[in-house]
Amino acid sequence: MTTLAESPMTNPFANTKCGGCTALCCSYFALEIDTPDEPEDFENLRWYIIHEDVQIFVDDGDWYLQINRKCSWLDGNKCGNYENRPQICRDYSDTLCDLDGPQSDHTFRNIEELEAYRDTWVAEFEEKKRKKAKKARKKNGKRRKHGR
């Protein structure tokens, strides 16, 4: 039975999807990082991922460094200071909740996963580079042939 103190009228948090949550979104924070453009860019990513409580994920083409550290205001599975929570928490939409499943394109939890992705990425990068160089050589050859 719900008491007056626990009713949605007196506890706005209880009235949200987050009210029954395990607080996954309060157990980490993520910062956008540079998307790798060159093979050397993976060196910083390797450095990040070898640290404890860190992972990297890609969401809609944007890369993020995830630091798995819980919010100091977390009280059990609820915000211990809900009325004074930061604006980023107020703006958070529960329509794409972490409980709903993975939202990212790629998630790297360790160096092996990152390096496997890097190796494939570098092979594709090199192939695109070869094709671009071949196309440029072909274009230059046509110019010389036609006297342009």
User: Shortest CA distance to 58 belongs to which of 10, 12, 108?
Assistant: 108
Locate the domains of the chain by residue range: 4-115
Sign of the torsion angle spanned by Cα atoms 51, 32, 68, 100: negative
What is the average pLDDT across 71-95? Answer: 90
* pLDDT, tens only, 100-147: 776 778 999 999 999 999 999 999 999 999 998 888 888 777 666 665
Global confidence as pTM: 0.75
Q: Which residue has the tokens 């949550």?
A: 21
